[in-house]
Structure 1
Amino acid sequence: MRLLLVEDDIQLAESLTEILEAQHYVVDTVKDGEAGWCQMQLMDYDLTLLDVTLPYLDGIQLCQRLRSRGYELPVLMLTARDTSQDKVRGLDSGADAYMVKPFDLSELLAQIRALLRRGNSHSSVMLSWENLSLDPSTYEVSYDQQPLRLTPKEFSILELLMRNGRRVLSRAFILESLWSMKRPPDEETVKAHIKSLRNKLKTSGAPKTLIETVHGVGYRLQGP
């Protein structure tokens, strides 16, 4: 899942990004409303966390622009303004939820999960490929009922492959899908993660060709 955080408080943005990435989300961060608008036109996001008080274009105006242009992605508004009137303005501008700073992190994460389920009903469905099973809601993976211990990025790569089946995914596509645009590694990083993932699958009894390399193109799952 790819999230856009529009927040001008640098320290808060960095803390939230670290927390969200630990939950397997890919997070892009911008510091003002106009930059947020530009970013939303560049990338497809599953959800945006939007501060209300922003330079150039505030959160209310940005949300109104999104809805007037037909954008339906979930918007979770984050603000220090806590009056009923402020909340009404935020929700009437098109926000799906409204949280007041300082907020409880567990509540924030639960709200994000709820909005993502609402916008992507397929996202929490158990995935399977032959004897391989992956549960997006619990981050559990098993092969032939034997659990696999994967790093967050290995899990994300495997989930991406399972969601795309026999479609070949290039390294560039994997990078774009699973890494922040501000800190993208080179394609050799994808190759290293694939190698580690293959080794763990093989140790669990999976065929070493389960993740197939299509030379000069990318990777896909081999099977049914």
Structure 2
Amino acid sequence: MSFRILVVEDEMELADFVVRGLREEGFHVEHAADGDEAWGRLQSSEWDLILLDWWLPNTDGLALLKRFRQANGTTPVLFLTARDTVGDRVRGLDGGADDYLCKPFAFDELLARVRALLRRHDRAPALTIGFADVTVDLASQKAQRAGQPLELKTKELALLIFFLRHPRQVLSRTRIYDHVWEESFDGLSNTLEVHVMELRRKLEALGPRIINTVRGRGYVLEDAGTKEGS
């Protein structure tokens, strides 16, 4: 989909709140509940941002962060913690954090800080992806066609981003559903078709069709001149 975010938090209710909220904003989010699990995920996958709690089972967040930086990890880290003294903030930032947000926090502020860190991260993937006259700014999650804003719902935006990442590739319904909805496609639901229809409607209000149906195979994002399907 878009940016990959790892949430390291042992309070399950808070973790669920953060993970769900960020996924609804179109981010790919995974969760680790303790320091050891988080270290394994940091070693096995690339991340664009890490949201890190200070108090964690096994290995605490500050120790984990220092270990990650000593291993040349450069992914930006946002501390989420109830430790709110000036001294704690200094320790966290000196330990390698890029930003610090105290609990409890408003989700809108968390989201703003996430976007700011992603914009600043010089190792992050290109902040804008596009095809033909359609572009999406991945940090702000804003889409345009021919310079005009596209008012897309969360899943419509995630769907468009997935198409933009795979131009001129025939994408099966199963593959699209697995990536955009992050669950298995049961073959009976018409959810995907409804979202494609609505996304097409909004795109085609500003230009020709670029998401085409390939009968019996799925969908493809392509120029009008190379259209395979309908």
Question: TM exceeds 0.5?
Answer: yes
Give the aligned partner of residue 36 of structure 1.
38
Q: 3-state SS of the aligned residue for 2:30? A: strand
Give the aligned partner of residue 26 of structure 2.
24
Amino acid at match of 1:203: R
Which one of 77, 83, 92 corresponds to residue 85 of structure 2?
Answer: 83
Contact persistence 1:212–1:222 (CA under 8 A): no
Which one of 119, 123, 126 corresponds to residue 122 of structure 1?
Answer: 126
Taking a change above 3 Å as real, the CA distance of residues 194 and 141 of structure 1, as seen in their structure-2 partners, is farther
Q: Which runs of 5+ in 2 are unaligned?
A: 226-230
Give the aligned partner of residue 222 of structure 2.
222
1:14 and 2:16 are equivalent in the alignment: yes
The ranges of structure 1 where at least 4 consecutive aligned residues each deviate by more than 3 angstroms after the TM superposition are 131-151, 166-179, 191-194, 201-209, 211-216
Q: 3-state SS of the aligned residue for 2:7? A: strand
In structure 2, distance between residues paired with 1:33 and 1:117? 27
Q: CA deviation at 1:214?
A: 9.7
Taking a change above 3 Å as real, the CA distance of residues 103 and 146 of structure 1, as seen in their structure-2 partners, is closer
Give the aligned partner of residue 228 of structure 2.
none
Taking a change above 3 Å as real, the CA distance of residues 77 and 202 of structure 1, as seen in their structure-2 partners, is closer
Amino acid at match of 1:59: G
1:186 and 2:184 are equivalent in the alignment: yes
Taking a change above 3 Å as real, the CA distance of residues 115 and 142 of structure 1, as seen in their structure-2 partners, is closer
Q: CA deviation at 1:63?
A: 0.7
Taking a change above 3 Å as real, the CA distance of residues 65 and 156 of structure 1, as seen in their structure-2 partners, is same
Q: 3-state SS of the aligned residue for 1:76? A: strand
Q: CA deviation at 1:131?
A: 4.4
In structure 2, distance between residues paired with 1:96 and 1:27? 19
In structure 2, distance between residues paired with 1:52 and 1:86? 10
Percent identity among equivalent residues?
Answer: 36
Provide the TM-score with structure 1 as the length reference.
0.77
Paired residues in the alignment total 216
Which one of 122, 146, 154 corresponds to residue 156 of structure 2?
Answer: 154
Q: 3-state SS of the aligned residue for 1:73? A: coil
Amino acid at match of 1:198: V
Contact persistence 1:7–1:32 (CA under 8 A): yes
For the aligned residue pairs, the C-alpha RMSD in angstroms reads 3.3
Q: 3-state SS of the aligned residue for 1:117? A: helix
Give the aligned partner of residue 62 of structure 2.
60
Which one of 189, 195, 198 corresponds to residue 196 of structure 2?
Answer: 198
